[in-house]
């Protein structure tokens, strides 16, 4: 396999193009990569390592894809178009996304719950560094920062570069907003019961709150109290015992809607996020039911605080 | 039939390089150096093999033309060792591009190679690659690229 084949394989041309289209696009990509590499090395080097060329090509593909998504065109458009011009337009889209990302980042920081969690704080801080180190001209597909904090509903692995960061930040904002709707002492009691080292370990802050809120909504209880007592846990087990997949998911979905209604969450994305979270509780419930206990999913506070 | 479109740019590059090296003969003949058509084909073929072996990719005409222009006036190169020397220089060039983590520009590296080859190495590729380029690699890793110039002064 030649070095050209090695790098052009990563361009990911779709099957729907004709062979002639593919040949034209590959040749154009090759020429564009050559010019782009020359820009990168500033003319100092006529050759680069294959790994670097692959990275540069991935960056080009990422920006061209941004252009396609923005314009609604398909890859067929590349056959006739000037790819260098499209790359420039893609980079402009990328710049716009960076500006949006900065706003999202600012909002994510502003809305961060006042709960101590090392991975959450470090990840937010790290994303600040992303905007300093992100090189959209040559490595637009890369994510130059560490993201340790696990979201309740993770970002699609296929997203890259600024698209990944913006999606991640959008999810963080949804989670922040949800967590901040509960009294902090109750939140901390729940997190402490969920994981005694919730400050130091890589746990998601949103997930246990969402599960308990949904559980309380299913029982018709006040979702803001967050605590699910042992007897309430038993009631939940009895509730789910006779239900098959479809009615159980329906019940979880409706409970999520009730949580949003009680917490006055009107945003469609937040609603979707909680419904997805609620539905995804079902496999865990199904696995726990034969043991008769849902205490690993719907958490009881370790020590009953005075406010319950 | 299996598609092999991605080889098209390589073929185009090879043709361009053969043409460029043929043109080099017009310049190098002043020093009594001429590459035959077979030698040119061989050099170009070996260029792609070296690139593959060193895990590099090259756009455009490549480095052969620059090597020929830089080295054809060397007193240590004559028509009998011309092809072999250029081949070895080409290998050394790509190897040290990698070893220096691309911290040395093409022209700088060729200039250093030429000065050392004609100077301290007295035409010995073995000396050039075994000692001087190793020093250059170490300097590049430690950020002492300016020492390239110092090396030139030593040779003077």
Q: Is A10 on the interface with B (CB under 8 A)?
A: no
- Under a CB-based contact definition with an 8 Å cutoff, are residues B109 and B129 in contact? no
So what's the pLDDT on residue B8?
55
- Nearest chain B residue to A38 by CA: give it: B59
pLDDT at residue B140, rounded to an integer: 64
**Chain B, 5-34: which have a CB under 8 Å from a chain A CB?**
5-10
What does residue A94 show for φ and ψ, rounded to 5 degrees?
Answer: -60, -45
| pLDDT value for A308 | 39
Whether B148 shows a pLDDT value over 80: the answer reads no
Residue of higher predicted confidence among B155 and A21: A21
| A48 φ, ψ (degrees, to nearest 5) | -140, 165
pLDDT grade for B143, boundaries at 50, 70 and 90: low
Q: Does pTM surpass 0.90?
A: no
Residue segments in chain A with a per-residue pLDDT below the cut of 50? 1, 3, 6, 10, 304-308
pLDDT at B142: 66
Instruction: Please count the other Cβ atoms lying within 10 Å of the Cβ belonging to residue B76.
Output: 14
Q: pLDDT (tens digit, 9 = 90+) per residue, B73-104?
A: 999 999 999 999 999 999 999 988 988 888 88
What per-residue string of b and e applies to B77-93 under the rule 16 or more CB within 10 Å gives b? beeeebbebbbebbbbb
How confident is the model at residue B137, as a pLDDT? 72
pLDDT by residue (tens digit) across B31-42?
999 999 999 999
Within 8 A of B93 by CB-CB distance, chain A residues are: none
Q: What is the pLDDT of residue B136?
A: 75
Q: Token digits for A259?
A: 């949580």
Q: Is B150 on the interface with A (CB under 8 A)?
A: no
- What local confidence, expressed as pLDDT, does residue A8 receive? 53
Say whether the ipTM exceeds 0.85: no
Per DSSP, the residues of A112-154 read --S---HHHHHHHHHHHHHHHH--TTT-TT---S---PPPSSP
> Chain A residue with minimal CA distance to B9?
A27
Domain ranges of chain B: 5-155
- Pairing, β A47-49 against β B56-58: antiparallel
Smallest CA–CA separation between A191 and chain B, in Å?
Answer: 48
Cross-chain CB nearest to A49 (options B7, B52, B55): B55
Looking at the predicted structure, is the pLDDT value of residue B153 above 50?
A: no
Does residue B70 belong to the interface with chain A, where contact is any CB pair within 8 Å?
Answer: no
Q: Average pLDDT of B36-60?
A: 91
**Binning pLDDT at 50, 70 and 90, where does residue B16 land?**
confident
């Amino acid at each position: 396999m030649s070095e050209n084949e090695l790098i052009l394989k990563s361009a990911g041309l779709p099957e729907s193009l004709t062979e002639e289209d593919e040949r034209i696009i590959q040749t154009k990509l090759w020429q564009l990569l050559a010019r782009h590499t020359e820009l990168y090395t500033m003319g100092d080097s006529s050759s680069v390592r294959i790994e670097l060329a692959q990275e540069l090509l991935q960056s080009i593909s990422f920006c061209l894809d941004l252009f396609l998504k923005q314009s609604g065109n398909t890859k067929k458009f590349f056959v006739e178009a000037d790819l260098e011009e499209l790359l420039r337009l893609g980079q402009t889209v990328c710049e716009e996304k960076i500006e949006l990302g900065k706003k999202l980042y600012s909002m994510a920081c502003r809305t961060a719950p006042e709960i101590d969690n090392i991975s959450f704080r470090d990840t937010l801080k790290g994303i600040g560094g992303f905007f300093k180190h992100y090189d959209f001209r040559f490595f637009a597909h890369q994510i130059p920062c560490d993201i340790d904090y696990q979201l309740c509903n993770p970002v699609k692995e296929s997203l890259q570069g600024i698209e990944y960061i913006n999606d991640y930040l959008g999810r963080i904002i949804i989670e922040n907003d949800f967590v901040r709707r509960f009294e902090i002492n109750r939140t901390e009691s729940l997190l402490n019961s969920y994981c005694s080292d919730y400050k130091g370990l890589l746990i998601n802050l949103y997930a246990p709150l969402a599960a308990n809120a949904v559980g309380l909504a299913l029982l018709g209880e006040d979702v803001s109290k967050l605590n699910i007592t042992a007897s309430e846990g038993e009631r939940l087990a009895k509730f789910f015992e006779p239900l098959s997949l479809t009615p159980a998911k329906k019940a979880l979905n409706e409970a999520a809607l009730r949580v949003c209604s009680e917490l006055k969450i009107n945003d469609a994305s937040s609603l979707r996020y909680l419904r997805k979270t609620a539905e995804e509780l079902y496999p865990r419930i199904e696995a726990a039911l034969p043991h008769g206990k849902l205490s690993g999913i719907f958490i009881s506070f370790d020590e009953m605080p005075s406010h319950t | 039939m299996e598609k092999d479109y991605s080889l098209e740019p390589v073929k185009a590059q090879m043709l361009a390089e053969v043409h460029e090296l043929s043109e080099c003969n017009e310049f190098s003949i002043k020093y009594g150096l001429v590459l035959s058509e077979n030698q040119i084909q061989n050099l170009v073929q070996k260029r792609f093999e070296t690139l593959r072996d060193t895990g590099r990719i090259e756009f455009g005409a490549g480095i052969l033309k620059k090597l020929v222009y830089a080295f054809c006036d060397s007193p240590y190169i004559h028509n009998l060792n011309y092809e072999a020397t250029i081949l070895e220089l080409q290998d050394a060039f790509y190897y040290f591009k990698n070893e220096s983590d691309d911290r040395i520009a093409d022209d700088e590296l060729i200039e250093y190679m030429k000065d050392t080859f004609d100077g301290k190495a007295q035409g010995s590729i073995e000396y050039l690659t075994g000692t001087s380029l190793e020093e250059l690699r170490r300097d590049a890793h430690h950020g002492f690229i300016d020492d390239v110039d110092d090396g030139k002064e030593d040779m003077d």
